[in-house]
């Protein structure tokens, strides 16, 4: 009888732990607000913001994979995970958007989009680091 109780308890613990792990498996995608960057209330050259995006991304392990006027695409790859984000920019600031990922359990779109919580942490760090790099820009 005691053996059945231990087995039942072990099964219950496993079911609860699995449920908690799955519940924490994805969270809503958080898209950061546009970051305004000026110096003495004047816009910066767009190429200066672009350099800040590349430098800030590199600090966090993001690589620039493409660029066009007003937008850079960055890629982050770690183990079996990958995230790709376009960063829209001009002389007054920048904004990061979600575009795609692999291995991060992304589902849905728009307001219903969800993803592994690591993605939001990576984007928060990227946003902070680009902002820091942009604050170091000298005219």
- As a whole-number percent, the residues of the chain with pLDDT over 90 amount to 68
Q: What does pLDDT average to over the chain?
A: 86
pLDDT tens, 67-94?
999 999 999 999 999 999 999 999 999 9
Eight-state DSSP code of residue 103 = S
Nearest partner of 55 among 69, 71, 74, 41, judged by Cα: 74
The domain 26-135 is classified under which CATH number: 3.30.310, 3.30.70, 2.60.40, 3.40.50? 3.30.310
pLDDT score of 24 = 56
> How many residues can be counted in the chain?
139
Query: Domain residue spans in the chain?
Result: 26-135
Q: Is the pTM of this model over 0.85?
A: no
For 87, other C-beta atoms within 10 Å of its C-beta total: 25
Query: Which pLDDT band, with edges at 50, 70 and 90, does 38 fall under?
Result: confident
């Amino acid at each position: 009888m005691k053996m059945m109780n231990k087995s039942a308890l072990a099964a219950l613990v496993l079911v609860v732990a699995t449920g908690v792990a799955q519940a924490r498996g994805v969270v809503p995608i958080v898209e950061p607000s546009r970051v305004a960057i000026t110096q003495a209330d004047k816009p910066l050259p767009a190429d200066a913001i672009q350099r800040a995006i590349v430098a800030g991304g590199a600090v966090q392990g993001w690589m620039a994979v493409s660029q066009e006027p007003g937008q850079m695409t960055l890629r982050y790859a770690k183990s079996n995970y990958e995230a790709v984000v376009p960063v829209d920019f001009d002389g007054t600031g920048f904004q990061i958007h979600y575009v795609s990922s692999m291995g991060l359990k992304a589902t849905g779109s728009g307001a219903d989009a969800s993803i592994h919580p690591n993605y939001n942490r990576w984007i928060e760090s990227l946003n902070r680091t680009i902002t820091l790099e942009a604050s170091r820009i000298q005219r």
